[in-house]
Amino acid sequence: MGALFRITPEVSVYANYIEALTAGDTAPQTANGAPVENRGQALAPYVSKQKEVGVKFDRNGLGAGLAFFSIAKPRGFTGTDQVFREAGEDRHQGLEFTTYGEVTRSLRVLGGLTWIDAEQRSTGSATTDGKRVIGVPRFMANLGVEWDIPGVQGLAVDGRVVYTGASYADAANTLRVPGWTRFDAGVRYMTDIGGRLVTWRARVENIANRDYWSSVGGYAGSGYLNLGAPRTFTLSASMEF
């Protein structure tokens, strides 16, 4: 359920509350260096709860938003008896700022900043209770800019920077995964071919060809790391019918 109140034509405030069913975790084969007693067993569905309040601004295609959110989700945990069960919850709360739109007729931006306090709660273990949730950084940010090249109709270039802060790969917060910054860039050209609008794109992601862990996930005793892609070039074309 939710509510929205428009203070002015450009400014509105809102609040919402959501409860959702999500699939329970599946017990891993091993945890803490030993087989899990109920490996392969799927836990009962989780009930997650989310609260959010925020304010939005939009004027002539240029907008911004600021929101506070709090999410509580049950979690799976392998105990000292090597049984995987629902134990406590992961609580995420934080602030998110977003901005988007046309700064000028030829310059567009899209970006955001997120601060998250992600905590394991009521886990039943002193080594994990109150520690940060696996794979959740404290800070994330991104900013993308697209600019139309003067004098060449349909031609634009863009750039993007993505930052993800450090996180942990284990529930006890002993394995720290460093944060990373990635730079991407691209060019777009739109033209008419036979009365159809055709868009050509060329992009390069991870310009600096930096090695980094793009994501961290899992649950206590069974975490994983995903390696970020190296410098990647892509070419594409699309046609509107």
Q: What is the pLDDT of residue 219?
A: 57
Residues 214 and 92: their CA atoms lie apart, in Å, by: 20
65, 97 contact by CB (below 8 A): yes
pLDDT of 160 strictly over 90: yes
- Provide the 3-class DSSP secondary structure of residue 79: coil
Ordered by where they begin, the domains of the chain are 2-239 (2.40.170.20)
Mean pLDDT, rounded, of the chain: 93
**DSSP strand E in 7-61: where?**
11-22, 30-31, 34-35, 46-59
Label residue 135 exposed, middle or buried (CB < 10 Å: 0-12, 13-18, 19+): buried
Inform me whether the pLDDT recorded for 220 exceeds 70. Answer: no
3-state helix, strand, coil in the chain (%, to 5): 0, 65, 35
- What tens digit of pLDDT does each residue of 130-140 get? 999 999 999 99
